[in-house]
Amino acid sequence: MLTGLLTPDEGEGTCLGYDIRRDARQIKRHVGYMTQHFSLYQDLSVRENLEFVARVFGLANPAKAARQMVERLGLAGREEQLAGELSGGWKQRLSLGACTLPNPQLLLLDEPTAGVDPKARREFWNEIHTLAAQGLTVLVSTHYMDEAERCHEIAYIAYGELLARGTVDEVIASSHLTTYTVTSTNGGSLTKLAEELAARPGIDMVAPFGANLHVSGRDEAALEAAIAPYRKRPGLVFARSHASLEDVFIDLLAKAQDNFQ
């Protein structure tokens, strides 16, 4: 809807000052949109895809614009390779190049690094921060909390409801979660313990993190009372820790109501 590709069933909205119902054509000229799945032409080369996009947006010299983008994104030497033969990371770079080629004012990225290796993910985000530093506004949807932490501001949406918004520190602080990390010193499983703790009043969230558990509650006194009997168990260590963005995410989703029906 923000890009002008879909018309809302109801309500109103603007994107870059344009009405999303009436001004879809103008919006499309100023917004870059990178879809979750690779959406360029698989049977065209890297160069042909970029030149095509440049011509669609009416750039003065499509061939030159494509060459400059190839150099910028480190795709030199792959210009004539078919897009369908690229790895996930290279496809990602090509998609980013295509949607930023017309110099948009706003860039929308839908799950941009799904299925991409860690090195390619980091390189992708380095490029995003470079673009943001140059004045481009970037809106990203992601399920990766480490990626969300890279953003200047975040928002949590569940079942169409906005649950939280602000900087990472603001969102964590507003959750009012007190968190403990539980470790087994004898290598024992914490699965049964997690089930027990989750059933106790005062504990709002229990989640496994590697070999440990994160146990959180919004009422600090109630949480302390809930875990007190377990502190005496041999082989268990309860260490006070800071709530992570993932802790907050899990807690917010647990409180969200599925309104599908």
User: 116: domain CATH number?
Assistant: 3.40.50.300
Mean local confidence (pLDDT), 196-202? 93
Residue 241 sits in the same domain as residue 191: yes
Residue numbers of the domain that contains 147: 14-152
Categorize the per-residue pLDDT at 218 as very low, low, confident or very high, splitting at 50, 70 and 90: very high
Question: Per the domain annotation, does 229 fall within a domain?
Answer: yes
Kindly report the average pLDDT of the chain as a whole number: 91
Residue 143 sits in the same domain as residue 198: no
36-45, 68-77, 115-124, 235-244: least confidently modelled range? 115-124
Which domain-ending residue is among 99, 121, 152? 152
Which domain-ending residue is among 104, 119, 152? 152
Residue 146 sits in the same domain as residue 59: yes
Question: Per the domain annotation, does 163 fall within a domain?
Answer: no
pLDDT at 95 over 90: yes
Question: Per the domain annotation, does 159 fall within a domain?
Answer: no
pLDDT at 259 over 80: no
Beta strand 137-141 pairing with 178-184: unpaired
Residue 119 sits in the same domain as residue 47: yes
Residue 212 sits in the same domain as residue 178: yes
Residue 23 sits in the same domain as residue 140: yes
Mean local confidence (pLDDT), 14-21? 95
pLDDT of 146 reads 87
What is the CATH classification number for the domain harbouring 251? 3.30.70.260
Question: Per the domain annotation, does 7 fall within a domain?
Answer: no
Residue 144 sits in the same domain as residue 246: no
What pLDDT, in 10s, does the model give residues 157-188? 988 889 999 999 999 999 999 999 999 988 77
Categorize the per-residue pLDDT at 260 as very low, low, confident or very high, splitting at 50, 70 and 90: low
What pLDDT, in 10s, does the model give residues 36-76? 888 899 999 999 999 999 999 999 999 999 999 999 888 88
Separation CA 104–CA 8 (nearest Å): 23
Mean local confidence (pLDDT), 238-260? 85
- Total domain count, the chain: 2
pLDDT of 226 reads 94
Question: Per the domain annotation, does 162 fall within a domain?
Answer: no
